[in-house]
Amino acid sequence: MEKTPLSVMLVDDETARALLVEQALAKHGYQVVCRLTSTAALRYHVERVQPDIIIIDMDSPDRDTLEHMTVISQHNPRPIVFFANHDDNPDSIKLAIQAGVSAYIVDGLTAKRVKPIIDVAVARFNEFQQLRQQLHSSQSQLAEQQLVDKAKRLLMKKQQMDEAKAFSTLRKLAMDRQQKMADVAKDVIAILEAL
């Protein structure tokens, strides 16, 4: 079974350089599905084309480019590789990484560096996404546990139950209603706080 090539959106304001980059990408098995000369409508094009990777090749990221990358990273995340031709501002790399760039490469793009750089960027992006999902899951579990604890405290205070009885009451309600404990806890909190 043949592997589908990764699709690339290429943003480069120099046509000749973009053509060389596109040839280097094709040589390594990537398919350029969209080529832009600026990041002005980047979010629109990302939503329309849904590329696997975004490659931006510019002198250095300006404020608008950073904003566009931030919006994409929040709403439609994917690996972003930024090739800067020169950069004498040390804050640019930090700001680009904060905006969601997976790899920031200074001194432009050369054909032999394309594949390893993209491989690293994709790996870093996937690892970051996995960490983000784990964090979100942990935060959700913590929030649910806090609801259950609050409901238990209210049952203990307003219904004169001990902790074990309050917990078993919540668990029985959850089983009877076929709901999650956190959902039952929300209902219990709303009722008991209204009393």
**Tens-binned pLDDT, residue by residue, of the chain (195 aa):** 556 788 999 998 888 888 888 888 888 889 999 999 888 888 899 999 999 999 988 777 788 888 988 999 888 899 999 888 766 667 888 888 888 888 888 876 666 777 888 888 888 888 888 988 898 899 999 999 999 999 999 999 989 999 999 999 999 999 999 999 999 999 999 998 887
Asked if the structure places residue 125 within a domain, the reply is no
Asked if the structure places residue 103 within a domain, the reply is yes
Same-domain status, 20 and 97: yes
Question: Are the C-beta atoms of residues 10 and 23 closer than 8 Å to each other?
Answer: no
Domains identified in the chain, total number: 2
Range of the domain at 187: 139-194
Q: Please state the separation of Cα 13 from the chain's center in Å.
A: 26
Question: In terms of Cα–Cα distance, which of 15, 27, 170 is closest to 111?
Answer: 27
Who contacts 53 (Cβ-Cβ below 8 Å, separation ≥6)?
6, 7, 8, 9, 30, 78, 79, 80, 81, 118, 121, 122
Same-domain status, 93 and 161: no
Instruction: Please give the pLDDT value at position 5.
Output: 81
Instruction: Please give the pLDDT value at position 110.
Output: 67
Asked if the structure places residue 27 within a domain, the reply is yes
Same-domain status, 13 and 61: yes
Distances (CA, A) of 89 to 52, 82, 100: 29, 15, 18
Strand order across the beta sheet in which 7-12 lies: 31-36, 7-12, 53-58, 80-84, 103-106
Same-domain status, 37 and 102: yes
Same-domain status, 163 and 105: no
Asked if the structure places residue 119 within a domain, the reply is no
CATH code, domain carrying 37: 3.40.50.2300
Distances (CA, A) of 144 to 21, 23, 157, 182, 183: 49, 51, 20, 5, 8
Same-domain status, 95 and 158: no
Asked if the structure places residue 157 within a domain, the reply is yes
Same-domain status, 103 and 15: yes
Instruction: Please give the pLDDT value at position 34.
Output: 92
Query: Tokens 């970051």 — which residue?
Result: 128
Rg (CA), the chain: 25
Instruction: Please give the pLDDT value at position 187.
Output: 92
Evaluate if pTM is beyond 0.75: no
